[in-house]
Homo-oligomer: A and B are copies of this chain.
Amino acid sequence: MTWSRSEKTIARQAFDAALKRELHELMQEAKEIAGQIKQPSDLWDLQEYLTQRRKEIDHKYNYRYSHLTQVFGRLLYETRVSEDELRGFSEDKLKTIRSLAKFLAEDAA
C-alpha cells in the first residue's frame, strides 16, 4: 500500500495522539500502583508490569508504512484511535483497518 502525503500527515497525527494517550494513562496507572505498594512482592509486580507494558507499547507502535494498517487496526479495536482521526485515508486502507479491528474483536470474544 502506498501512502499519499496527506495520508502520512493524518497517520502521524493519529499515531502520535494514540501513543501519547496510552503513555499518559500508564503514567497515572504507575503512580496509583506505586502508591499502593505495601510489600516487596508489590514492588516486583510493578517492575514486571512496567517491563511488560513497555515491550507491548514498543511492539504496538511500529511506525513503518508497511505496518501501519495493522497498527491502526489494533488501535481501532482497542478504541485508542477513533474513525474520525483516520478520516482522509483511502477507502481500501480504511477497509483493511476496520476488518482487522473486527477480526481482533471476534478473536477476543
Chain A residues in the interface with B (C-beta under 8 A)? 23, 26-27, 30-31, 33-35, 37, 39-40, 42-44, 46-47, 50-51, 54
Q: Tell me the complex Cα distance, A27–B40, Å.
A: 7
B43 near A47: Cβ-Cβ < 8 Å: no
Q: What are 5 A-B pairs with beta-carbon distances under 8 A?
A: A27-B39, A27-B40, A27-B42, A30-B43, A34-B34
Residue on B with the closest CB to A39?
A: B27
- How far is the CB of A26 from the nearest CB of chain B, in Å? 6
What distance in Å separates the Cβ of A100 from its nearest Cβ neighbour in chain B?
26
- Which residue of A34, A42, A44 has the most chain B CB atoms within 10 A of its CB atom? A34
Complex Cα–Cα for A50 and B40 (A): 12
Cα distance, A44 to B23, chains bound together (Å):
10
With A43-B26, A51-B51 known to touch, is A35 a contact of B35 (CB < 8 Å)?
A: yes
